[in-house]
Chains A and B, each alone.
Chain A
Amino acid sequence: MKRRAKFIVGGVFILGALGYLIYAGVSQSVVYFVTPSELMAAPVSGKTYRLGGMVQAGTLKWEPKSLDLTFAVSDGKTAVPVRHKGTPPDLFAEGRGAVVEGTWTADGHFKAATILAKHSEEYKAPDDGAAEPGYKELLRTLQGSSGK
């Protein structure tokens, strides 16, 4: 019985340590995307980033002929100009969340290779009144999960 108790205590200790290591390690290194403020704090040109934020209202321009897409990704404090060549996903729009993969360029814009639309956890019926889909919630999501 005593031996068994020792095993249980040891097992709980090992599991706890393992869990903490995974949690601490993942929190620090596996941040899925950086925010515009974090990127602009120390931008390295030529480095690959995943940049996440809201597509700032009034900045989205798309040329259907040349497929040139330009917009700014913002976290409410800082906005980063983004350029992309291609067609964005259906849910991509001004005032909605997006994650762009690409590189920071020396001439001061973010060159996106892939654009992902971030969806909010809100589900609305078609005539639900409020026009802006998930804006508040998404912004809260971005702030609430800064890992600090």
Chain B
Amino acid sequence: MRTRALGWLAGLALLAGLAVAFGYAPREAAQGNVQRIMYLHVPSILTAYLAFGLVLLGSIGYLATRGKAWDRLAASAAELGVLFTGVTIVTGSIWGKPTWGTWWTWDARLTSTAVLFLVYTGYLLLRGMVDEPERRGRYAAVVGIVGAANIPIVHFSVKWWRALHQPSTILGPEPSPIAAPIATALLVNWVAFTLLFVYFLARRIEIARLDDGAVDA
């Protein structure tokens, strides 16, 4: 019941996000309307960071306690992380063509994000290949922990190396100029995406729990 309420809340927040992205935020001065893709692109990757952070947490928890709930958390969060990373890459590509003049280029940010996507796709693949639950949990946990090392690389790539991708505007070392309505629209969408993620995660963990129960019985 509480999960369902969360789902409705996430839905409403997404509607609010759409409304502010198109109705409240102004047309950006340099880029024009194409900048509005940011309201999908940035919340997506921030949600993916959160998801992979939870994979790390679940993996450590599983190795330390061997509690199945930790493994379910890691596995469920990984699926959602891959989904949101995919959304980030697709929206970024659509934005890149009119803005940069290319769909894709191998700069540090784009390459490390592609690696992030592949590592966690590999994580899901590995889970699919091992049938025995304890071994599956253990192997996956190792990948879940090692893979997390890539998160700071993705985030700081634009700072550490020369890239085509612009540096961080929010979550950067020093605040960057961003018009207040644009920042507000971004924040609303970030909250909406986080709510949506928590709702999906709760549902996915519930399914995983029922699956585990069915195996045990």
Binding site for B on A (CB under 8 A): 15, 18-19, 22-23, 26-27, 30-33, 52, 88-92, 99, 114-126, 128, 133-134, 137, 141-142, 144-147
A137 touches B176 (CB 8 A): yes
B162 touches A147 (CB 8 A): yes
* One of A117, A123, A141, A142 near B35 (C-beta < 8 A): A123
Number of interface residues of B (CB under 8 A): 38
B164 close to chain A: CB less than 8 A: yes
Known: A27-B160, A99-B164, A125-B26. 6 other contacts (CB 8 A): A31-B162, A89-B98, A91-B100, A121-B169, A124-B28, A124-B177
With A27-B161, A147-B161 in contact, do A122 and B178 touch (Cβ < 8 Å)? yes
Instruction: List residues of chain B with CB within 8 A of the CB of A124.
Output: 28-30, 177, 179
Binding site for A on B (CB under 8 A): 26-31, 35, 38, 98-102, 105, 107-108, 111, 146, 149, 153, 159-164, 166-169, 172, 176-179, 181-183
A88 touches B101 (CB 8 A): yes
Cα distance, A92 to B169, chains bound together (Å): 21
**Which of chain B's residues has its CB closest to A127's CB?**
B29
**What's the minimum C-beta distance from B206 to chain A, rounded to whole angstroms?**
33
**Interface of B: prevailing SS:** loop
25 A-B residue contacts at CB 8 Å? A15-B146, A18-B149, A30-B161, A31-B161, A32-B161, A32-B164, A33-B164, A88-B101, A89-B99, A91-B30, A114-B101, A117-B99, A118-B164, A120-B166, A123-B38, A123-B177, A124-B29, A125-B179, A126-B28, A126-B29, A133-B30, A137-B177, A144-B159, A145-B162, A147-B161
Instruction: List residues of chain B with CB within 8 A of the CB of A118.
Output: 100, 164, 166
* One of B26, B161, B167, B178 near A26 (C-beta < 8 A): B161
A89 touches B100 (CB 8 A): yes
Instruction: List residues of chain B with CB within 8 A of the CB of A133.
Output: 29-30
**What's the minimum C-beta distance from B139 to chain A, rounded to whole angstroms?**
14
**What's the minimum C-beta distance from A121 to chain B, rounded to whole angstroms?**
4
B161 touches A145 (CB 8 A): yes
B108 touches A26 (CB 8 A): yes
* One of B102, B166, B181 near A116 (C-beta < 8 A): B102
Cα distance, A27 to B178, chains bound together (Å): 29
**Which of chain A's residues has its CB closest to B181's CB?**
A125
A114 touches B161 (CB 8 A): no
**Which of chain B's residues has its CB closest to A101's CB?**
B105
A15 touches B161 (CB 8 A): no
Instruction: List residues of chain B with CB within 8 A of the CB of A122.
Output: 30, 169, 176-178
